[in-house]
Amino acid sequence: MKDYLVLVKPRISMLVAVSTAVGYRMAGGSDWTLLTLTLIGTFLASASAGALNQYLERDADALMTRTKNRPLPAGRLKPGEVLFFGIACGAWGIALLAMTVNALAAVLAALTLTLYVALYTPLKRVTPQSTWVGAVSGAIPPMIGWAAAAGELALGAWLLFGIQMIWQIPHFHALFWLYREDYARAGFRFTPVLDPEGGSTRVQIAIHSFSLLIASMLPTYFGVVGLAYGYGVLMIGSAFLLLGLKASWTMADKDLRRLFFASLAYLPAVFILILVG
């Protein structure tokens, strides 16, 4: 069972579930049964993406220090088992959303899965722009929650999408830089691999740390949430921007690691402020 838990990438799937719940509540959803069904369906779709990604990248995972002990490269699970598990999770999740929530939520979940597995995963070996495809895929879950509650996508859903998409750029560029040698061995064409001097990476981190602050302020600007959120996100967004600027200036591993861990706290903090505000 532990190996199947690794397949679903539990930390990512939990973040997906939390962001889905935030979208649901922000859209005014109050039916806890509907929320539960939405979360289960979305979690299964996310689990499918994680499993199918590891199925497709099993050879690359075997070449990287940080992934060589995953179930497939370590030989603890067979490829056919992982493929079946991934397809089953995706089918069950999307079917559950379609039958118990609504068609829009199911379509968005299917779109997330398709972008991640069919585009982002193979494009990682082709172009550094794959990061943006992955960012779009990873930013859709709040929209699934919104769609579940409202049956449509209003401005608030797109604002959540924007925050979560931009957040991924400094988050993943910090990670890619820290493990650039691993990714190079696996043949992934991320920006830090193609630009070992770090010029492009530092620009991406600096620009999108600033863009994240702006995007995070927009829900207050458009009146979707109140001033309490605006003041709170201004403080944490400014702190994150300073970390991003420092990391982009020094490109030191310790500063990029600090930025990466700060990014893990940033999004949950924003979600809490949204729910409170």
Q: What angle do CA 190, 8, 67 make, to 5 degrees?
A: 45
Q: Which two tokens stand for residue 239?
A: 């702190």
**Residue 147: C-alpha distances to residues 47, 108, 113, 116, 133 (Å):** 20, 9, 17, 20, 21
pTM equals 0.95
Kindly state the average pLDDT of the residues 73-96.
96
Could you report the per-residue pLDDT of 21-71, keeping only the tens digit for each? 999 999 999 999 999 999 999 999 999 999 999 999 999 999 999 899 999
- Please answer whether residues 160 and 145 qualify as being in contact, where contact means their C-beta atoms are separated by less than 8 angstroms: no
pLDDT band at residue 267 under the 50/70/90 scheme:
very high
Q: Where are the domains of the chain?
A: 1-153, 154-277
- What is the reported pLDDT for 49? 96
- What is the reported pLDDT for 2? 86
Q: 193 by DSSP, 3-state: which?
A: helix
pLDDT at 266 over 90: yes
Fold of 1-153: Tetracycline Repressor; domain 2 (1.10.357)
Could you report the per-residue pLDDT of 152-198, keeping only the tens digit for each? 999 999 999 999 999 999 999 999 999 999 999 999 999 999 999 99
